Structure 1
């Protein structure tokens, strides 16, 4: 966690929606590298898998740090997550950071056909096991979820071992990140909501007898900066409405915890009843400026700067709206670049 005197790094989240090809994802990362961004994170949702894609991107970049945000802890075993992290750390020459998390029932049960059982405990044990794997230790583990024996990397473990970050929205999941992980990934937060969860992170670090400064905090912030500021704001509002209304209860509950319970319920209800435009209007009218950096380049830079100044935040990763096309993504990368 950064102190008040430092300013957060500026990073990007590569687009959630599937692009034309892996080449396009690599080109966006090259653009971000050229513009001075610190890191590129790749989500793993309904697009290309993170491991294969990041392997290509690692080969085509030189300096920019790379990471997953997030790989869920149900669709791969902890040992395989460790192998994947160790391999990506190797092919990227030490530029990789593993971001993991439980995701939610809509993804785990609906997409992967797995039981969404004991998500916090599963995440906690996954961190333990992955850390053993990437450090080259024999994996002898007797937990509540996993009992493993006999596994060990049969190649030289990467040095340094890749850090392991955990994503979370609620108090207990954030406390877990502070207690056991190398970093926390936050998403769909207002500035005040983020500050409240940072207290949970500090408490977790203290419970783990750790220095909170050693836990890296990354905020995924919806961002769109276009000369047509109204279009940029509409794209960002659509993005937030989809997550609050269409991705199960986790983002809705997170917004409710941040003092917007009635609004969260109204957005979800409008989305579920097919009134998508109404859900977008509710976001645009009430919380867009509190949860995104969107509008003209000047407007977006002003909002981004306010988030980057939050004490305890180490990095802001720009998340491009789901509906943004390649031109809008490139324009936003350029407009919000660290050296712009």
Structure 2
């Protein structure tokens, strides 16, 4: 049976609202709550509060990038959150993209796949309590070990990736894969990449928890819900660099992806959103009335090889809209 997770809004919500949504998700029976980190609240601080105010639900980072924190610090943070949550934590890492890494953190976006792989290996050594002697192409560490008692069960380390090589790496080395901007056809293509990676790593694809985040929105006015998701997709494809645009293009929408990016770059945000057609919404999202959104979501939960589907939310959705969507799509 496919797990149903929650991908918290990217919007910079107050910590108390983040904790309230996490508690609500726990009461409603969701399996995991994932906290993103962009240029808003500190993700590690937020997840500490989330763990403190819940009892059973899984908690994890949908992505902490591997540029703004060292691998050792990511490992320290993961071990501490695993202890604080009572063993409910998963660490999601990834390179993010150059627009955020260079524009916000001021770090060159170099060798993203290699950096992610090395970070993953170092994090595992840290959380296992090993003395870390590592000589990689990107990182070199020696002589230290995690000073606190390592967690009895090391937290799983997942990789967030959208492209073929990134997903192959997740299949080969990680404990899980987080996918985004993927329709059913794109998911199946990426699952083939994951299986190839698992084969290269001499492991089973079943060892990798696969989780897909789907933009969702429920409103009694179905068209209003769909328009919020249109705006959300246009924001990512047009305003967040090339990764999301390329993901859309790989799935047969190259012309539309380029048109959205061009309109957004020219400041025409409404025109960019209008280019997100009903067909694209139907392929990539679950939005509309409660009945429509639940039927859309089922197309994702029924895909063989997907272990969990996360409901995500448009970046301009109100807190009440997020709450209503959580309730409307909760496990039955």
- How many angstroms does 1:231 deviate by? 1.2
Where does structure 1 lack aligned partners over 5 or more consecutive residues?
1-6
1:196-207 paired onto structure 2 within 5 Å? 196-207=189-200
Tell me the equivalent position of 2:2: 8
The answer as to whether partners of 1:73 and 1:126 remain within 8 angstroms in 2 is yes
Tell me the equivalent position of 1:301: 294
2:275 counterpart SS class: helix
1:191-340 paired onto structure 2 within 5 Å? 191-339=184-332
Post-superposition Cα deviations, 1:258-277, rounded to whole Å, max 9, x if no partner, equal: 11111111111111111111
* Comparing 178-187 and 228-237, the one that deviates more: 228-237
- How many angstroms does 1:77 deviate by? 0.1
Where does structure 2 lack aligned partners over 5 or more consecutive residues?
none
In structure 2, what is the Cα distance between the partners aligned to 1:189 and 1:151? Answer: 40
Post-superposition Cα deviations, 1:85-142, rounded to whole Å, max 9, x if no partner, equal: 0000000000000000000100100010000000000000000000000011110000
In structure 1, what is the Cα distance between the partners aligned to 2:235 and 2:33? Answer: 23
1:287 counterpart SS class: helix
Residue 116 of structure 1, aligned match among 105, 109, 113: 109
Is 2:33 aligned against 1:40? yes
CA-based RMSD of the aligned residues comes to 0.7
Residue 70 of structure 2, aligned match among 69, 77, 83: 77
In structure 2, what is the Cα distance between the partners aligned to 1:151 and 1:72? Answer: 23
Is 2:169 aligned against 1:179? no
Higher relative CO (CA 8 A, sep ≥ 6), structure 1 or 2? 1
Is 2:130 aligned against 1:137? yes
1:283 counterpart SS class: coil
- How many angstroms does 1:284 deviate by? 3.3
Post-superposition Cα deviations, 1:240-269, rounded to whole Å, max 9, x if no partner, equal: 110001100010011111111111111111
Residue 125 of structure 1, aligned match among 92, 114, 118: 118
Is 2:155 aligned against 1:155? no
Residue 80 of structure 2, aligned match among 74, 80, 87: 87
Runs of 4+ aligned residues of structure 1 deviating over 2 Å after TM superposition are none
Check 1:286–1:267 CA distance in 2 against 1; reply closer, same or farther (3 A cut): farther
In structure 2, what is the Cα distance between the partners aligned to 1:192 and 1:310? Answer: 10
Residue 67 of structure 1, aligned match among 48, 57, 60: 60
In structure 2, what is the Cα distance between the partners aligned to 1:151 and 1:210? Answer: 30
In structure 1, what is the Cα distance between the partners aligned to 2:20 and 2:326? Answer: 12
TM-score, normalised relative to structure 1: 0.97
In structure 2, what is the Cα distance between the partners aligned to 1:110 and 1:289? Answer: 33
TM-score, normalised relative to structure 2: 0.99
The answer as to whether partners of 1:232 and 1:295 remain within 8 angstroms in 2 is yes
In structure 2, what is the Cα distance between the partners aligned to 1:40 and 1:159? Answer: 22
